[in-house]
Amino acid sequence: MADPHRPRRIDRGHGPIGDLVDRVAEPDVDACLGVLVTTVIDLTDVLAEPPVREVLSQWREHGRVSPTTRGQLDAAVSRHELDASVAHRADDTETQRHEFFRARALACLSIAVAADRPAGERLADCAYEAIIAMGGTAGVVGVLVEYAG
């Protein structure tokens, strides 16, 4: 269970999105995460990333992802974060932004499939990463509204 005294990233500076996350019933969280992740992957064009198809396949077929595949996904996140940092140091703003947004999209997927975390915590953190990956709140709000009771 999440610590109710620990502030969530989604509650800082994103308006009512934390409230929408809280209104998604636990039985609906996985479906909501699936739509949110699909939206992020589509908008950030990360489907061609080597581990993404395998992660989605395992998640869809088994409801979980193997530790090896999850490790490959986390390595892809780290690679894009490093590439963003290198681009920043080279004053290449366009590449920095591109790599940063891709890292956030992959992090969103990694959080969504993290079976070792509570459902509500995964949704809150996934929504936070999705907002960053998509460059705004509209797409996330659109998905959450469909599932918020």
Instruction: Tell me the pLDDT tens digit for each residue of 54-105.
Output: 999 999 999 999 999 999 999 999 999 999 999 999 999 999 999 999 999 9
* CA 149/CA 146 separation, integer angstroms: 8
Residue 9 lies in a domain: no
How many structural domains comprise the chain? 1
Range of the domain at 22: 16-147
Report the candidate in 94, 102, 130, 114 with the shortest Cα–Cα distance to residue 14. 130
* DSSP type of residue 14: S
Residue 3 lies in a domain: no
Phi, psi of 75 (to 5 degrees): -65, -35
User: Given this model, what pLDDT does residue 89 score?
Assistant: 97
Residue 58 lies in a domain: yes
Residue 7 lies in a domain: no
User: Given this model, what pLDDT does residue 1 score?
Assistant: 43
User: Given this model, what pLDDT does residue 10 score?
Assistant: 76
Centroid of chain to Cα 73? 12
Q: What is the pTM of this model?
A: 0.89
DSSP H helix total and E strand total for the chain: 7, 0
* CA 81/CA 121 separation, integer angstroms: 23
Residue 51 lies in a domain: yes
Residue 71 lies in a domain: yes
* CA 77/CA 130 separation, integer angstroms: 14
Residue 11 lies in a domain: no
Residue 35 lies in a domain: yes
* CA 32/CA 21 separation, integer angstroms: 10
